[in-house]
Amino acid sequence: MLSLVYVSAAAQPFSEAELQALLETSRRNNQRDNITGMLLYRDGDFLQVLEGPEDAVRATYARIGRDRRHGRFIMLDESHIDTRAFNQWAMGFRRVTAAESPEGFVDFFNRRHALSDLVDPRAEAFHFLQGFRRIA
Ligand code: FAD
């Protein structure tokens, strides 16, 4: 299986209804394609992990990459995996506020322009994502 982690910036801020529509489509497609993962949204920025069969993950990421609702993609990690980290979720979701970010966590959204400083982007992204999974 393949796991991808990326950040992107919304072309325009998403309304609650737009986020819900996006999630509905994503969950429907991901369930069909055996893809799991998690999506965080904060102030116009997305952080997403996609995991599943390699062909399906690459096809989904290609579709997401053509979506004009967001851009400025930065791929944080691409890894082959044996075990899913988000196996319960066709696409877990949290809308995050700055105040909610757990203390001591790397603030991924603020660090998007200095991501090359990260020693292990995958570990740090998962640490960040799983913090929100625990409080979801
Ligand atoms: P369609 O049936 O063609 O579209 C479903 C609905 O989505 C439409 O009715 C419309 O309301 C809306 N929509 C689709 N494209 C646009 C657009 N360009 N502008 C405005 N509204 C639009 N897709 C996945 O399958 N899995 C994912 O995990 C996933 N994650 C995403 C994460 C982000 C941050 C973003 C921005 C998009 C994501 N998408 C994901 C959506 C993806 O980009 C495609 O829009 C979607 O996969 C198209 O699927 P479809 O052909 O079944 O949808």
Judged by DSSP in three states, 84 sits in coil
Distance 117 CA to ligand 1 centre (A): 31
Predicted local distance difference test score (pLDDT) of residue 81: 96
| Residue spans of the chain under pLDDT 70 | 101-107, 110-116, 133-136
User: How many beta carbons lie within 10 A of that of residue 76, not counting itself?
Assistant: 21
pLDDT of residue 64: 98
Nearest Cα residue to atom 43 of ligand 1: 64
**pTM of the predicted model, to two decimals?**
0.89
Dihedral angle of Cα 8, 12, 15, 21, to the nearest 10 degrees: -60
Which residues, in sequence order, are bridge partners of residue 45? 9, 42
Cα 54 to the center of its chain, rounded Å: 17
At 120 the pLDDT is 82
Q: How far apart are CA 74 and CA 115, in angstroms?
A: 9
Q: Whose CA is nearest to atom 53 of ligand 1?
A: 25
